[in-house]
Amino acid sequence: MADIATDVLIIGTGPAGSSTAALLSTYGIENMVINRYRWLANTPRAHITNQRTMEVLRDLGREVEDEAYMFAADQELMGENVFCESLVGEEIGRLKSWGTHPLSKAEHLLSSPTFMNDLPQTFMEPLLFKTACQRGTQARMSTEYLSHIQDAEGVTTTCLDRLTGKEFNIRSKYLVGADGGNSLVAEHLDLPFEGQMGVGGSMNILFKADLSKYVAHRPSVLYWVVQPGADVGGIGMGVVRMVRPWNEWLIVWGYDISQPAPDVDNAFAEKVVRELVGDRDLDVDITSWSTWTVNNYYATRLQKDRVFCMGDAIHRHPPSNGLGSNTSIQDAFNLAWKLAAVLKGQAGEALLDTYSTERAPVAKQIVTRANQSIGEFGPIFDALGLTENNDPEVMQANLEARCDSTAAAEAQRAAIREAIAFKKYEFDAHGVEMNQRYTSSAAVTDGQVEPDFALDADLHYQPTTWPGARIPHVWLFDGDGAKHSTLDLAGGGAFTLLTGLGGKAWTEAAAKVADALGITINAHVIGPRQEHVDHTGDWARAREVSDSGCVLTRPDQHVCWRHDAMAEYPEAELTRVLTAVLAK
Ligand code: FDA
């Protein structure tokens, strides 16, 4: 017997759960979110926020996007990725990162209306959670998920009210497990996983100290510290991470996973901080510490009937490349519109199966990428001569050998440069962040072959309107001269059709098909004297169809169909495609 009812119950108020709640409420779907704790994330954890995530926030509303920028450290403060002996000690090398290299910056500007930024999870979660609650989400804190059973009509979830100690049931049509890396929902669903948990040990030390004099002239979110032991466990190297410039910090330092986790106390934490900063007399205020394990583990199916998992529940990996929270929010963007369409009676339940089809490959990709990035610190240690020997004196001598004027030292310097430059795959991998293309029944290709990547797909985003890809961003202009991204026209919980002056019949057909299917299709003719004008010709170059053709996008801004020119029966074509996409 259920005590409470809702359409979608979400377990967890992390980035995955809070964004699902915010999106569902925005789409007008009744939902409830629970968290076993009394409040949201109390440590900064995720911070690198990529452009695709910012596009989700922008789709939730400009006020949400703007608030994120307001609390974030600006992209310009992120980029001098420093490798050093300590913050005080000698600098070994640098890598312009996170879209701040002029060439990379150009690619960022061309790819999205949004900006990468550094937004600690302690700011991101409240923003998403507040948006959800403002728009109708019912939230219950201090409420713990215990178990669920599902039947043909819905799911009954048993929860514990941690304030009263009483158990109660929530009945919902669908259940979303966004309950993090120890997901009980995923365990109860018995989801298939590949990979391994606990491949490395790591500790986080959160502290306050004014480090301006060591860092402000080389602003970065990450300062990588090469010291004996820095290659053990952890995320590849010891790191001093900016939380707030330049007085709040997080140190990530590894430990050997084959040994018990270190017994951290305040004195130990202060010692690690002073060693990595390199200032024995540093005035440091330790806020907290914790130990955690590095995982290499992803689910190959993300759902079972009426229950879905997302976020760290289905992809468990180190923070390398900064993909965790980003991917969690993007999981939500994929699932939320599908749940909404089914609940509104616009789509058949088979649409929901495309969640796994589309997002499980992403889970595998990002878990693999993040773990690979740890291994790619190896050549830096090798080049510095730190892997051949454990003797600190020999290690120091090898490190210093790079400053000699010998041929060997020149070769060593070249090897160091090359190894650091290769870390672009972790610190400036725009393609990993932006190139997600889906292959499923919710993207109708009509046999058009997926375009190959002309450049390295991990490093460079490649726009395309091939069905399954996110619609390319270009700026269009309205009659007042204001600019609007193509992504602003798409999304907003609706399908969108873009065509040119020869394609007016598409818009008429779209209106009829939308009526017949009970959905919203926002149709736009782009051209001279229209509401949106392609003054620069960028859309004509990006659309990969002719003026009279069309590009159709889903509510998550991914293209679900395109047609090169006007069809003989546009209404029939749109009906065919949309009934397929919506599994009607
Ligand atoms: P998350 O773990 O955040 O949330 C789970 C939620 O479920 C919580 O609200 C929890 O209380 C709740 N819950 C769990 N069990 C429950 C139960 N039984 N009943 C009720 N509630 C329950 N990512 C990124 O994108 N960029 C970055 O730069 C970084 N950097 C980074 C640095 C460090 C040091 C760490 C440790 C991690 C990162 N990450 C990251 C990763 C990021 O923090 C992580 O991927 C996201 O928090 C995952 O979000 P989820 O919402 O999936 O889980």
Closest residue to atom 53 of ligand 1, CA basis: 180
Q: Are 179 and 306 in a shared domain?
A: yes
Q: Are 483 and 511 in a shared domain?
A: yes
Q: Are 41 and 186 in a shared domain?
A: yes
Q: Is residue 243 part of a domain?
A: no
Q: Is residue 504 part of a domain?
A: yes
- The residue with tokens 């109660």 is 168
Q: Are 453 and 386 in a shared domain?
A: no
The alpha carbon of residue 43 and the mean position of all alpha carbons in its chain are separated, in whole angstroms, by 18
Separation of CA 224 and ligand 1 centre (Å): 23
Q: Is residue 83 part of a domain?
A: no
Alpha-carbon span 356 to 366, nearest angstrom: 15
Q: What is the pLDDT along the chain (584 residues), one digit of tens a residue?
A: 688 999 999 999 999 999 999 999 999 999 999 999 999 999 999 999 999 999 999 999 999 999 999 999 999 999 999 999 999 999 999 999 999 999 999 999 999 999 999 999 999 999 999 999 999 999 999 999 999 999 999 999 999 999 999 999 999 999 999 999 999 999 999 999 999 999 989 999 999 999 999 999 999 999 999 887 777 777 778 899 999 999 999 999 888 888 888 889 999 999 999 999 999 999 999 999 999 999 999 999 999 999 999 999 999 999 999 999 999 999 999 999 999 999 999 999 999 999 999 999 999 999 999 999 999 999 999 999 988 877 888 888 998 999 999 999 999 999 999 999 999 999 999 999 999 999 999 999 999 999 999 999 999 999 999 999 999 999 999 999 999 999 999 999 999 999 999 999 999 999 999 999 999 999 999 999 999 999 999 999 999 999 999 999 999 999 999 999 999 999 999 999 999 999 99
Q: Is residue 310 part of a domain?
A: yes
Sign of the alpha-carbon dihedral angle for 275, 276, 282, 287? negative
Give pLDDT, residue 1: 66
Alpha-carbon span 255 to 63, nearest angstrom: 42
Q: Are 418 and 441 in a shared domain?
A: no
Closest residue to atom 31 of ligand 1, CA basis: 46
Q: Give me the phi and psi of 437, to 5 degrees please.
A: -120, 140
Closest approach atom of ligand 1 to CA 323 = 25
Q: Is residue 529 part of a domain?
A: yes
Structure ipTM: 0.96
Q: Are 63 and 188 in a shared domain?
A: yes
Closest approach atom of ligand 1 to CA 292 = 36
Closest approach atom of ligand 1 to CA 146 = 18
Judge whether 231 and 386 are in contact, CB under 8 Å. yes
Closest approach atom of ligand 1 to CA 310 = 52
Residue 479 exposed, middle or buried by CB count within 10 Å (0-12, 13-18, 19+): exposed
Closest residue to atom 15 of ligand 1, CA basis: 179
The pair of structure tokens assigned to 190 is 């018995």
Residue from 47, 51, 163, 179 to probe ligand 1 pocket by mutation (most atoms less than 8 Å from CB): 179
Judge whether 576 and 436 are in contact, CB under 8 Å. no
Q: Are 396 and 453 in a shared domain?
A: no
Beta strands in 245-381 (DSSP E): 248-255, 285-299, 303-304, 307-309, 315-316
Q: Is residue 481 part of a domain?
A: yes
Instruction: Report pTM.
Output: 0.97
Closest residue to atom 38 of ligand 1, CA basis: 46
Separation of CA 41 and ligand 1 centre (Å): 8
Separation of CA 40 and ligand 1 centre (Å): 10
Closest approach atom of ligand 1 to CA 184 = 18
Q: Are 67 and 12 in a shared domain?
A: yes
Separation of CA 485 and ligand 1 centre (Å): 31
Q: Which domain holds residue 48?
A: 4-72+119-192+300-351
Q: Which residues contact ligand 1 via a Cβ below 6 A? A: 11-17, 34-37, 45-48, 121, 144-145, 178-181, 184, 204, 252, 311-313, 319, 322-326, 328
Q: Are 305 and 391 in a shared domain?
A: no
Give pLDDT, residue 277: 96
Residue from 145, 183, 325 to probe ligand 1 pocket by mutation (most atoms less than 8 Å from CB): 325
Judge whether 187 and 320 are in contact, CB under 8 Å. no
User: Domain holding 316: CATH number?
Assistant: 3.50.50.60
User: Domain holding 566: CATH number?
Assistant: 3.40.30.120
Q: Are 176 and 65 in a shared domain?
A: yes
Give pLDDT, residue 309: 99
Q: Is residue 92 part of a domain?
A: no
Q: Are 161 and 54 in a shared domain?
A: yes
Separation of CA 329 and ligand 1 centre (Å): 11
Give pLDDT, residue 439: 98
Q: Count the domains in the chain.
A: 3
Q: Is residue 55 part of a domain?
A: yes
Closest residue to atom 34 of ligand 1, CA basis: 45
Q: Are 179 and 322 in a shared domain?
A: yes
